[in-house]
Structure 1
């Protein structure tokens, strides 16, 4: 086993809020979120930025990578608990293929403070 895939994360997925007319909205109901534990992944630092305008903001980037041949049920809009932090999935989840077969999955994650 590689030392790079030794971390455990929790994927947090919230359903969409349904309005009083029964229509699904774009707002997530985090109080009813499901939690799925995923083992043997790698979460490493990625690009970070700071803004010192009227309200100081730090956006810290992380990259989640699975082992070769492994996919995870992760979607844009999900959150990931990793390294003691609650991170948002940033954009689409990349599912890499080689010779027509799934090779590995990567996702950019971000934490916004401020």
Structure 2
């Protein structure tokens, strides 16, 4: 496997709304961006649903870190890659090294939904 690609992790900031609740803030000045180097990104899924009023397309990719590398990515984050803004799909899997208990590698799925 080649770990020759890079992504940007985008994490929402927070703000207080008119009711006093703390809510996610995805505005450009509020987000935290982190460049993540040396990952492998492979296509996983592509589905297309045709309805009379629209066509929906969901495309997915699988991201994996090299052995010994943990990634600061969580389920609620977004990922910028190849000019796209993608959602982390599900939980981020951190695989444990059976010899020393540290993170062996990280895997996650990302997706883009249009339509």
TM-score by length of 2: 0.87
What is aligned with 1:77?
A: 76
2:54 aligns to what SS in structure 1?
A: coil
Query: Which residue number in structure 1 is paired with residue 26 of structure 2?
Result: 30
The aligned counterpart of 2:89 is: 90
Give unmatched runs, 5+ long, in structure 1: none
CA contact (8 A) 1:43 1:82 kept: no
Tell me the distance in 2 between the aligned counterparts of 1:18 and 1:56: 36
Secondary structure at 1:35's aligned position in 2?
A: strand
SS at match of 1:52: strand
2:12 to 11, 14, 18: 14
- Runs of 4+ with >3 A deviation: none
Q: Is the 8 A contact 1:67 1:104 kept in 2?
A: yes
